[in-house]
Structure 1
Amino acid sequence: MTRPCILVLGTGGTIAGAAGSATGGGYRAGGLALDAMLEALAGLGLDADLVGREVARIGSQDIGWDEWRALHAACLEAIADPAITGIIITHGTDTAEETGFLLDLTLPAVKPVVLVGAMRPADAVGADGMRNFANAVKVASDRHAAGRGVMLVMGDAVLAARDARKAATSAIDAFRSFPRGPLARVTPARLDWFGPPHRAGEGARYRFPDSLPRIAILTAGAGMDAQPVEALLGIGARGIVLAGMGQGNAPRAVLDALARAAASGVPVVRASRVDEGLVDRNVEVDDDALGLVAARALGPARARVLLMVLVANGITDAAAVQAAFDG
């Protein structure tokens, strides 16, 4: 039987971090080259051949357009290559939900694409990177992994990129999945899926943009006025995501300013600064009257990614944007 061949795209992050001290608190993200990581992994006896390609060696707070474009192109190339079974992207955890969701929106779901990271650098006591990576290989090699969209593997859980978010700053189980739970549980020895592939044979949902428009996140707070909204419009924001209170609420002056922005053709999406929960239409805020969009299950970070893709694809009408968030 032919061994799976996995393309590993390295971007850096804590999984490639080096602290220089097993018990220290600080470290340098991306301090280890991908080749060094793969050499260490070779000693684990993983049942797959790994082919490495380094895209970047940075902390994921610095991930942006150049890295996203390179990752998307490399994934498309690997998807078209019959010799490649699946794709693993090593990534920092700070923005893994954004990279994963962007790729999920713009890649066909025909081969497994798995993001993997770590909460502790490679030379720290209790480092989790090697186990997470071995789990990612287990997922990317599995014949039942295709048709599930882009996935994130952390802490023995397989999460859909659409649902995954970082919910803790440093806990080893920092990621949560909402509104759906994990797709599977995984260890280096076993993989148990909780349901069938939900995107089998599905193509990319949206065209990968030629460039990304400026979409801003505005966090609501008590006592705010309209000036932050006006400032964002003044620097050319082509869309605004409100990280609102509760179910995406904000002071009246802020909502009125956002309604004026929406009326001028700038789509406005109401998300919540609360860690978990749905933001529905017309609950406390009259979205119909104000021309606003409810983010539903997406938090501010992923709502910004979806709105960037929509605006880049020429989708700015509030009803069409709402339909995308509902979907």
Structure 2
Amino acid sequence: MKKSLTSLTLALSLIIPISAFAKNNVVVVATGGTIAGAGASSTNSATYTAAKVPVDDLLNAVPQIQNLANVSGVQALQIASESITDKELIQIARKINELVKKPDVNGVVITHGTDTLEETAFFLNLVVHTDKPIVVVGSMRPPSALSADGPLNLYSAVALAASNDAKGKGVFVLMNDSIFAARDVSKTINIHTNAFQSQWGALGTLVEGKTYWFRNSVKRHNNNSEFNIENIKGDALPLVQIVYGSDNMLPDSYLALQKAGVKAIVNAGTGNGSVPNYIVPTLNQLQQQGIQVVRSSRVPQGFVLRNAEQPDDKYGWVVAHDLNPQKARILAALALTKTKDAKEIQRIFWEY
């Protein structure tokens, strides 16, 4: 009997590789946010203090994740995400880059506050060169709340990071069972668990630990990116700021940013990235003085058309295409590490 079992095991090993039975190794990198927050009571789902729960407690609260992968945790930051600056973005990216280079790490999950989760995910999508799954996850309710969404989001994020079919698809945002491309996703609701959406739709969904895919991200990312966190020196990026468009604007806002030393201004314009006629001279003056002008839109869907509303070719301005102002800020800052030529920056916006 023992001999026949040994023969059966040998026969199966010839058909199914031993590695198929091995669990992948996933590292959870905690940065704080609501998913690590705490409210005064179980009914405080919107009033709470972010970034209170350490990574080990997050993992221990969802022991089922160990059935998905060999999961370990790293506490990179403990911060509410609205307080993240370029310094923290670079710090997170360097930590992720260090982890994905390890041969025994198969995937990485970053727990993050939802307020600027999309910016961090997009930055990682651009600067970390790997085909290993990187998943950014958060929650809309703290762990202390009734029906907290963080535990299931974390479980699903680990399942996605451990999934071999998630390789090479770019950085993901996993929220509310939806798998989003980091480039496309935005926080669109501030009080409900279905807070994240993409106008181009999710890449797929994750149900009971299993991935289901429906589309791929076609823009350049990760291994195909010309940007690399290893080439960024220091802890700062070229300074890029956003001015929000409305009626009755003042040129003083742009001039104050010039005085602060900005290298580019993202104009979150109305409609098709529109710029008021009385603001155009100020932006042209700034552009002629070496400050790049990027036309984005405050409208959450659609995209900015070049040479529509404004003669971008004539002025030497850049359009953000479908990137929202906050994503445009990230890409403009990275572009400025490579070039100061508006045509080249526009090429970057088309490709990413």
TM-score, normalised with respect to structure 2:
0.88
Name the counterpart of 2:329. 304
> Would you say the 8 A contact 1:145–1:197 is kept in 2?
no
Letter in 2 for 1:324: I
Structure 1 residue 13, shift from structure 2 partner: 0.4
> Would you say the 8 A contact 2:131–2:167 is kept in 1?
yes
Letter in 1 for 2:290: G
- State the secondary structure of the residue aligned to 1:202: helix
Q: Does 1:186 align with 2:210?
A: no
> Would you say the 8 A contact 2:127–2:222 is kept in 1?
no
- Within the candidate set 236, 243, 252, 2:268 is matched to 243
TM-score, normalised with respect to structure 1:
0.95
In the TM superposition, what whole-angstrom CA distance separates every residue of 1:131-189 from its partner, at most 9, and x where no partner exists? 111110111011111111111000110001110111111121111113x3211111233
Structure 1 residue 68, shift from structure 2 partner: 1.9
Query: Greater CA radius of gyration, 1 or 2?
Result: 2
Name the counterpart of 2:123. 102
- State the secondary structure of the residue aligned to 2:164: coil
- What is the alpha-carbon distance in structure 1 between the residues aligned to residue 211 and residue 299 of structure 2? 32
- What is the alpha-carbon distance in structure 1 between the residues aligned to residue 159 and residue 187 of structure 2? 22
Identical residues among aligned pairs (%): 35
The structure that is helix-richer by fraction is 2
- What is the alpha-carbon distance in structure 1 between the residues aligned to residue 283 and residue 205 of structure 2? 42
Name the counterpart of 2:347. 323
- State the secondary structure of the residue aligned to 2:125: helix
- What is the alpha-carbon distance in structure 1 between the residues aligned to residue 39 and residue 258 of structure 2? 41
Structure 1 residue 129, shift from structure 2 partner: 0.3
Name the counterpart of 1:252. 277
- State the secondary structure of the residue aligned to 2:190: coil
List alignment gaps of at least 5 residues for structure 1: none
Name the counterpart of 1:92. 113
Name the counterpart of 1:138. 159
- What is the alpha-carbon distance in structure 1 between the residues aligned to residue 227 and residue 315 of structure 2? 27
- What is the alpha-carbon distance in structure 1 between the residues aligned to residue 346 and residue 86 of structure 2? 25
Q: Does 1:226 align with 2:246?
A: no
- State the secondary structure of the residue aligned to 1:253: coil
- What is the alpha-carbon distance in structure 2 between the residues aligned to residue 47 and residue 294 of structure 1? 43
Per mean C-alpha deviation after superposition, the further-off stretch among 84-93 and 165-174 is 165-174
Q: Does 1:273 align with 2:294?
A: no
> Would you say the 8 A contact 2:177–2:205 is kept in 1?
yes
Letter in 2 for 1:280: L
Structure 1 residue 70, shift from structure 2 partner: 2.4
Q: Give the total of aligned pairs.
A: 325
- What is the alpha-carbon distance in structure 1 between the residues aligned to residue 88 and residue 222 of structure 2? 27
Structure 1 residue 57, shift from structure 2 partner: 1.2
Q: 1:142 to 1:60 in 2, by over 3 A?
A: same
Name the counterpart of 1:22. 42
- What is the alpha-carbon distance in structure 1 between the residues aligned to residue 170 and residue 47 of structure 2? 34
Structure 1 residue 9, shift from structure 2 partner: 0.4
- What is the alpha-carbon distance in structure 1 between the residues aligned to residue 64 and residue 177 of structure 2? 20
Structure 1 residue 307, shift from structure 2 partner: 0.6
- State the secondary structure of the residue aligned to 1:7: strand
Structure 1 residue 259, shift from structure 2 partner: 1.6
List alignment gaps of at least 5 residues for structure 2: 1-20
Q: Does 1:8 align with 2:32?
A: no
- Within the candidate set 114, 119, 142, 2:135 is matched to 114
CA RMSD of aligned residues (A): 1.7
- State the secondary structure of the residue aligned to 1:216: strand
- State the secondary structure of the residue aligned to 1:8: strand
- What is the alpha-carbon distance in structure 1 between the residues aligned to residue 292 and residue 265 of structure 2? 7
Structure 1 residue 294, shift from structure 2 partner: 0.8
Name the counterpart of 2:179. 158
Letter in 2 for 1:155: N
In the TM superposition, what whole-angstrom CA distance separates every residue of 1:188-219 from its partner, at most 9, and x where no partner exists? 33210114675798344313322212111011
In the TM superposition, what whole-angstrom CA distance separates every residue of 1:210-264 from its partner, at most 9, and x where no partner exists? 2212111011121213222111111111110000000111211212211221122
> Would you say the 8 A contact 1:225–1:251 is kept in 2?
no
In the TM superposition, what whole-angstrom CA distance separates every residue of 1:262-285 from its partner, at most 9, and x where no partner exists? 122211100001111100101111
- State the secondary structure of the residue aligned to 1:144: helix
Per mean C-alpha deviation after superposition, the further-off stretch among 54-63 and 223-232 is 223-232
Per mean C-alpha deviation after superposition, the further-off stretch among 91-100 and 284-293 is 284-293
- State the secondary structure of the residue aligned to 1:271: strand
In the TM superposition, what whole-angstrom CA distance separates every residue of 1:13-63 from its partner, at most 9, and x where no partner exists? 011111031112411101111111111122555321111100111110111
